[in-house]
Structure 1
Amino acid sequence: MAARKNSRRRGVILTATGYQKLQTARLERELTANFGVRYTNEELSNLTKLSLMTLAKIFTGAPDGIATTKPIPVDKQTIDLCFSAFNLTLDRADYLYPDESAPIVPVVEPAILSSHSDCRSTFDRGEAPDVSIFYGRAGELARLAQWINIDRCRLVAILGMGGIGKTTLVTKLAQQLQPEFTTIVWRSLRNAPVLTDLLPELIEIFSNKAEIVSPAIDLSAQITRLLECFRQQRCLLILDNAEAVIQNRDDERIDPGYAELFGRIGASPHQSCLLVTSREKPVAMIPLEGAQLAVRSLVLSGLTASDSDLLFDAKGLSRSLVGRARLLSLYSGNPLALNIVSTSICDLFDGDIDGFLDTDAGIFEDICQLLDQQFARLSPIETVVMYWLAIEREWLSPADLAGDIVPATTKQTVLTAFSSLGRRSLIEHNRGKFTQQAVVMEYVTAKFIDRVTAELSNWDMQQPPPTLPLWLSHPLVKSQSPTYIQAIQKRLILQPVASQLKLQFRQISALDGYMRSILASIRTCYPDIPHYGGGNLLNLLRHLQIELTSYNFAGLTMWQADMQGATLHDVNFSDADLSKSLFTNTFGWVWAIDFSPDSQLAATGETSGDIRLWQVGSGELLHKSSGHTSWVWAVRFSPDGRVLASASQDGTIRLWDVRANRLMRVLQASRPVLSLDFHPDGQLLATSDDAGAMSIWDIASGTIESTCAAHLQQVFSVRFSPDGRLIATGSDDNTVKIWDVATGDLCGRLTEHTRQVWTVRFSPVRGASPEENGQLLATGSSDGTIKLWDLTTVAIVATLPGYPDWMMSIDFSPDGRLLATGNSTNDVKIWEIDRIRANDAPPTAIATLHGHTSLVSLLKFSPDGKLLVTGGVDRSIRWWSTTTWQELSRWVGYTNRIQSAIFTPDGTQIVSSSQDGIVRVWDVRTGDLVRSLRGHDPGLILMVAYNPHSGSIASASEDRTVKIWDAATGDLVRTLAADRQAVWSVKFSPDGKLLASGCGEGRVRFWTETGELAATLLGHSRVVRSIVFSPEGQLMATASFDLSWRLWDVKTRELIHAQTDYSNLIWDLAFSPNGRFLAVGAGVANVAQLWDVPACQLVREFAGHTQDILAIEFSPDGRYLATGSADRTIKIWEVETGTVLQTLIGHLDRVNSLSYSPDGRIIVSGSDDETIKVWDLATGECQRAYTAPAPYLSMNISGVTGLSAAAIDSLKMLGAICAS
């Protein structure tokens, strides 16, 4: 019995009292001796001299570190030893024997238990500085750690003057607190980022890529989503330099968005913390702050004597106690000031503090005074470099800068200046690149703005300074900087200069005249000296929205001028240097792009049929090749980069010699060619067409080696595997097929997609596993998914979700580790393949790239893996860094294709819409442009409608809005923010009381005369391309890219009929004047249909066009039907017999729109050839053609330098003139 009793009482376990006593002591020790950071198990083991297994038993009651209801006893001496390590005495109340009443063992937070919590923590450092050298601040670190770790503060502000050490303190604190947080993100507000641009990035990081938010989403909704992340896990968000978003705007003390962010984070319950640094306290904090509340602030003072001694010793200053005390007092303990002045003392006084103080250096009151002193000591080239670093606003190498400095200087001189500035502690250095600390950059930027503004405001027209002033030697904006840097330069440099000039001159007309005088002055006074004056003035004029017509920039260097999207009618650039400047390009919708194997060149294919060759690094247009007569669907470089192949809707494949810029051969196919790909050995070319066929061509002979009916419907994509043994095809029949190249046999059929398969891509070869040896296949479909297939097992590896519609473009990175996808929601997502395969949870993208304003039709990684290029229907090509996913550059195209042209009810005017974002009103009799309605964002206006009762015009745009205009005055009446995607169609009801709009997501909305949303009709799943009301207004018909048309009851909003058995897109609908018939454009290839509305039966088909029917319209008497087609013709049909009566020929591109005059004698057409034509139906002749003025109309580019011949030709196409 005794033996059994001793066995039962062997060892002890902690009571709840003992456990709490030990935990409290542990936390106190962590606060006082470890800056508030919790000890890991290894550190506890070193402290207590106990093993990890024993500690696990003491702290959690189980060897695996998880609390249980059955604690494991340990020797009393062991617990006593643990208590002693924390200076505690083990009392009888602290422990129990196993046979006594069971203690309540609390479950400890996982963060306390984990010995490797820091390994699971993520620290996104952003621009956080290196704090490997850090002096003092132990007390501040301990207090902040207590507030954040123990008191669980939700919002903490560290306040203090510039240079006091706020940034380094929070960075050091973040390093020490890292084990306590799942995710830490450090972001600088130095460049005053727009909050709605910053929050989506933060949400994506804190949600571990699970939450993707568009910048277009409402700010409050974005903050709500961030708070959800803060509640789900413990996060630390650090926002440095918050003073940049605190502005004096009348009665507002802070940018409203940031005020809401700070207020809601401070007031809402969550388990995370926002840590802010600022030179002044955000007002939103004041009502929430308190010593015992979850919102607190710490005012940071200067370094103490002991802390400053560490800095002085490191700098090598003399150890004069009196001198050090005086120096510390003189500069208020400011670390930046002490660092800068210490360097000067070493350089000028050999480290003798007393010698420096004997010179009466002056009293320091503000960091700017010290920087004034330092700036006055800089050499001219050092001053130049400091200004350039403030302009560049990111890390920069001396080599990057040397070529931009004017007057020109040597690289060695620039390198010496950087070295000197580094010794003065005025710039920071990291891996061969340099930048300025925030307070220094702010000081230099302000100085730069003040000097430039003063120079421009007080310019002496007769006697300008003999040497280049600052506004001539430095750019205000660098058009060749990454896009995101340009945005910062415009906001923080160009805008303040423009505002000061506007304030001084008050009248824009006066400023306009002054600018013209300055241009004449600098052209006369600096005739042979390159400078940035021309570019700066043009950028200023554009920012001030001063009309540039007839400005004279002749003979000037236009470096860093951004002329993309500008109207430059009659502007004189003769003999100007146009290098390092940006112009609008002539490309429209780009559907294809490819890189040369060395990543130096890029080729694009367009809807116009043109092929362009670009220099990747500079963005220079090298050559434009014409020959195709319709859309170019695909371009591919051969593996050796010598040949470029292009596939077109015109049924040809063209082979181009890249070096000679000439056409080598035309391969004639029997049908429109939608895709092509080179075999890895370069000897074969695979193509696919719109009839479901796949062909293999021999490049050397230009003949077809084999062809097969690969699919039942059109084949959108064809690709060789990396080893050349297989071909994958994706089709309109919803399937993917895998073929053996050698035998032509079908190896596999993948049928999991439920709609069209647009793209197929093999993974590159990078190893032995399926995803590494080219045996992983990615497919993108209109069903809104991307599927990854393991071809060794023909099984789906993963389905990537998140797209509501077209999945147009996908591409693997060259190393096969990433997949980029583009879609109809205008975003690009980046996926990590290994992460997808290793995770059972639903796949999430690692990055989402925002910027495109319409469908992303193409994307491609460069072969070197450094760039991702994307292109969209918004006529922009964007280049992204694959390391930061920031937009580096943007090429903007221009075509003014006419989307819609309609007669007004009285037949005296025509209202048109086009791709430049302007609604135009034309006089039918004279052909004059009566009025231009401006208000939409630059981009495609897809449709216009006229209200005969109110005299208003409605316009639907890809900018996601519908705008209502007063037709008589051209004034904007209201804007209807209709959708998350482009608004494709708009129509007034016959009585003018309702406006219907159709969007890219398939919704149809009814709006009242006052702009109120009356109803939303659901049914379509894709773009609603056409809306028509019956003449009496009781019915409405809608046509969609989901291959259906639907008939609705207007009063009840109920669906009456849906016709869904089509194989082609339906582009347009029209009711007959008596309301009995509905005409349907397309649906069946190249055929129009006539339906009996009451019976919902097909009556007749009109066949004769050779390509899609895009527009359809009844004559006012209902006897005739007009159709416009992608085949460039207009046909007039007799409705009763279906006979074609006339074919109107004259357009050079697709006919998108038709409208009869009220008397039915003439018809107006709008086309992709950028013209509106008025046709006399009695003769079939074109009476008149209207064309909107080109953006560079009569712009003089005679004798210009810095542009390629192709670039000059492009400017001419946009209206520029060049004397021979």
Structure 2
Amino acid sequence: MKRYSYRERDYAFGQVMLTLRTRLGLTQTEVAGRLGVRRRSVTDWEGGLSYPSVDHLKRFVALAVERQAWPVGCEAEEARTLWQMARQKVLLDDGWLGGLLSHTLASPAPQPAEETGVTAHAFASPFRSGPRVDWSDAPDVASFYGRERELDLLSTWILQERCRVVSVLGQGGIGKSALATKVMHQGAECFEVVIWRSLRDVPTCEALLDNCLQVLAPQALFGTSASLERRQDLLLECLRNRRVLLVYDNLESFLEEGQDCGRIRAGYEGFFQVLRRVAETEHQSCLLLTSREKPSELVPLEGNRSAVRALRLARLEAKACYQLLVEKGVAGSTSEQMRLIEAYAGNPLALKIVARTIVELFEGQIVPFLEQGEVVFGGVRALLDEQYARLSVVEQSVLLWLAILREPANLQELLAVLGASLPRTSVLEAIESLHSRALIELGLRPGIFTLQSAVMEYVTARLIVEVTDEIKQGRYSRLVEHSLELASSQEDVRQTQQRLLVIPILASLRRSYPRRTALEEHLLALLDELRSWADEAQGYGPANLLALLRELRGHLCGLDLSQLSLRGASLQGVEM
């Protein structure tokens, strides 16, 4: 089959093709069968990767006219617009189109929307308004490799079988978020509202519900009871009355670490009440989850014919891994590539990171890299340990600050927290280097930088270990150079910093100082030592020690804070 392909994706054309297929009420496989093409061809059209040939586009136009996918009276105009968008090398045959319209429109009308499985609102023109979307937090999936079977399966569960809860499971870096994003974009036109939310920063159940209800039912939320049950009722009402796709990324943030797999983290029982109600209650919406672990509450509800399904992502298929390596500039024979893929268990994030190392240090050659020693992938953490050790002091500091800030940041924001001692050019060079190593990502807006989820978790854990070791050994490096919580951060971010940094560090210290008084005395001794330093040299040290003492004691009464530089200290509401 001849296809007109091009270098850059034509997202506008792809969106129109996807919208029209949705309004036809057909799957990609069904459209492919009617047009006499492979399903992959339809996927490429909807992905903006290629255009149909003249014959196949004419068949598609005929199908759209036959099933009344366009508003009555506008068929000719819409068909000409589609033809023009498809960049055909020949003009649309007006005689053919006229004959098609006169014959088809004289025939009986197609089945009602209820029988075809397409909602009435779906018959609006695809060139006009679409669903209401709030997905700015979703990752930008510029390159997507393989996963065709998984895409088809998830689309079937969500769009055709109308599953209420669908989980995408797998290890860190395996591509859960990318797959969920792809599914979300491809199926968006089948929903009235599409919302993406990341659970990475562990928001409270109430805050998460309020955040979604502000999009779904802001008027109903205003002035209502603050009870969790009332919020749950409102959410279920919205899911029943409107077709909503709600995506929650990083669900494992709500699960206990180091405990039985799938156990709820203390304080988040309310969220899993919501989860159970969404899974068990009849409605027309879908909750799409990504997680490293399966919540134990969903296990009894899952089944092949149930409205609750789970897909566990295995390693990325070899063909897609080859494509990834080639695009990253890695050279080598098929057997050499296979050795590399096997070493990192087909983990796309791991392969992206190691590919950069191979290109930069070994001129893209796999064999010299493998000859450096045995390379065994035991998880993304082991790989990131190797990469982290290769970074400069400034590069490590930038990574740590992005993990502390928890939100996308620009250069000015990084310079503000790093301090005046680092030149602007050094920080910019560090950012450029980190991006080239695939350790930081560019945000949706120019000049914004953030961390991929797996890297965020790794760097956060690294900071906790390093600060804990420094405090036990009476050293000052990370403790002075980096803040554990910033008063200048938004309230929800500051609470996250406290929950994910201050509390874990204190918990680790308590294991080394079983007696509370011994730990308190050690922290106070460190504070006294910093008191003798110059203000600028104290950095964030005093503020960090106060944060730990506040968490340990519950107050800061009776402390002498003289001669201490409290940079970024969060003292609001603290008894002193």
For the criterion TM > 0.5, the same-fold answer is yes
CA contact (8 A) 2:543 2:569 kept: yes
Tell me what 2:570 maps to.
562
Q: Deviations over 1:311-336 (max 9, x none)?
A: 12221111421111111111111111
1:291, distance to aligned residue in structure 2 (A): 1.2
1:216, distance to aligned residue in structure 2 (A): 6.2
Tell me what 1:458 maps to.
473
Q: Work out the CA distance in 2 between the residues paired with 1:367 and 1:104.
A: 52
Tell me what 1:514 maps to.
522
1:27, distance to aligned residue in structure 2 (A): 6.3
Change (3 A) 1:35 1:220: farther
Tell me what 1:221 maps to.
230
Change (3 A) 1:152 1:38: farther
Tell me what 1:537 maps to.
545
Which of 180, 193, 200 is the matching residue for 1:183? 193
Tell me what 2:253 maps to.
244
Matched, 1:473 2:481: yes
1:297, distance to aligned residue in structure 2 (A): 0.9
Matching of residues 456-855 of structure 1 within 5 Å: 456-459=471-474, 465=475, 468-524=476-532, 529-568=537-576
Tell me what 1:297 maps to.
310
Which SS does the other structure have where 2:157 is aligned? helix
Which of 348, 351, 359 is the matching residue for 1:346? 359
- Higher-Rg structure is 1
Matched, 1:281 2:294: yes
Q: Work out the CA distance in 1 between the residues paired with 2:216 and 2:73.
A: 29
Q: Work out the CA distance in 2 between the residues paired with 1:522 and 1:565.
A: 25
Matched, 1:163 2:165: no
Change (3 A) 1:332 1:213: farther
Change (3 A) 1:546 1:556: same
1:62, distance to aligned residue in structure 2 (A): 9.3
Tell me what 2:82 maps to.
none
Q: Work out the CA distance in 2 between the residues paired with 1:302 and 1:218.
A: 43
Which of 27, 30, 50 is the matching residue for 1:28? 30
Tell me what 2:329 maps to.
316
Tell me what 2:208 maps to.
198
CA contact (8 A) 1:242 1:276 kept: yes
Which SS does the other structure have where 2:297 is aligned? helix
Tell me what 2:129 maps to.
119
Q: Work out the CA distance in 1 between the residues paired with 2:433 and 2:110.
A: 68
Matched, 1:441 2:461: no
1:393, distance to aligned residue in structure 2 (A): 0.9
1:560, distance to aligned residue in structure 2 (A): 1.0
CA contact (8 A) 1:117 1:180 kept: no
CA contact (8 A) 1:235 1:271 kept: yes
CA contact (8 A) 1:182 1:234 kept: yes
Aligned pairs, number: 512
Q: Per residue, is there more strand in 1 or in 2?
A: 1
Which SS does the other structure have where 1:277 is aligned? strand
Q: Deviations over 1:190-223 (max 9, x none)?
A: 000111111122122123x343257962223212
Which SS does the other structure have where 2:220 is aligned? coil
Q: Work out the CA distance in 2 between the residues paired with 1:475 and 1:286.
A: 40
TM-score of the two chains, using structure 2 as the length reference: 0.80
Tell me what 2:86 maps to.
none
Which SS does the other structure have where 2:167 is aligned? strand
CA contact (8 A) 2:400 2:463 kept: yes
Amino acid corresponding to residue 199 of structure 1 in structure 2: L
Which SS does the other structure have where 1:563 is aligned? coil
Change (3 A) 1:118 1:202: farther
Amino acid corresponding to residue 401 of structure 1 in structure 2: L
Amino acid corresponding to residue 381 of structure 1 in structure 2: V
Amino acid corresponding to residue 462 of structure 2 in structure 1: K
Q: Deviations over 1:112-164 (max 9, x none)?
A: 63442873212211311111222222221111111111111111110111011
Matched, 1:144 2:154: yes
Q: Deviations over 1:817-871 (max 9, x none)?
A: xxxxxxxxxxxxxxxxxxxxxxxxxxxxxxxxxxxxxxxxxxxxxxxxxxxxxxx
Higher relative contact order, structure no. (Cα contacts within 8 Å, ≥ 6 residues apart):
2
Matching of residues 677-1076 of structure 1 within 5 Å: none
Change (3 A) 1:398 1:312: same
CA contact (8 A) 2:205 2:270 kept: yes
1:38, distance to aligned residue in structure 2 (A): 9.6
Matched, 1:211 2:220: yes
Q: Work out the CA distance in 2 between the residues paired with 1:401 and 1:138.
A: 39
Change (3 A) 1:122 1:512: same
Change (3 A) 1:44 1:26: farther
1:563, distance to aligned residue in structure 2 (A): 2.4
Give structure 1 stretches of 5+ with no counterpart.
Answer: 1-21, 67-74, 83-95, 460-464, 569-1220
Matched, 1:261 2:274: yes
Q: In percent, how many aligned pairs have the same letter?
A: 34
1:43, distance to aligned residue in structure 2 (A): 9.3
Which SS does the other structure have where 1:119 is aligned? coil
CA contact (8 A) 1:117 1:179 kept: no
Q: Work out the CA distance in 1 between the residues paired with 2:344 and 2:63.
A: 53
Q: Work out the CA distance in 1 between the residues paired with 2:25 and 2:349.
A: 40
Q: Work out the CA distance in 2 between the residues paired with 1:30 and 1:235.
A: 28
CA contact (8 A) 1:30 1:36 kept: no
CA contact (8 A) 1:56 1:63 kept: no
TM-score of the two chains, using structure 1 as the length reference: 0.39
Q: Work out the CA distance in 2 between the residues paired with 1:28 and 1:51.
A: 12
Q: Work out the CA distance in 2 between the residues paired with 1:38 and 1:475.
A: 46
Matched, 1:384 2:397: yes
1:520, distance to aligned residue in structure 2 (A): 1.8
Q: Work out the CA distance in 1 between the residues paired with 2:463 and 2:375.
A: 25
Q: Deviations over 1:513-571 (max 9, x none)?
A: 22222212233467872321111111222222354334233322210112223333xxx
CA contact (8 A) 1:37 1:145 kept: no
Q: Work out the CA distance in 1 between the residues paired with 2:64 and 2:448.
A: 48
1:65, distance to aligned residue in structure 2 (A): 9.8
CA contact (8 A) 1:402 1:414 kept: yes
Amino acid corresponding to residue 446 of structure 1 in structure 2: A
Which SS does the other structure have where 1:375 is aligned? helix
Q: Deviations over 1:1015-1036 (max 9, x none)?
A: xxxxxxxxxxxxxxxxxxxxxx
Change (3 A) 1:304 1:524: same
Q: Work out the CA distance in 1 between the residues paired with 2:510 and 2:541.
A: 18
Q: Work out the CA distance in 2 between the residues paired with 1:116 and 1:390.
A: 41
Change (3 A) 1:488 1:126: farther
Q: Work out the CA distance in 2 between the residues paired with 1:193 and 1:45.
A: 51
Q: Deviations over 1:473-521 (max 9, x none)?
A: 2111111122222121111111212233345434443333222222122
Change (3 A) 1:302 1:518: same
Which SS does the other structure have where 2:538 is aligned? coil
Which SS does the other structure have where 1:371 is aligned? helix
Amino acid corresponding to residue 564 of structure 2 in structure 1: L
Change (3 A) 1:58 1:158: closer
1:237, distance to aligned residue in structure 2 (A): 0.5
Tell me what 2:81 maps to.
none
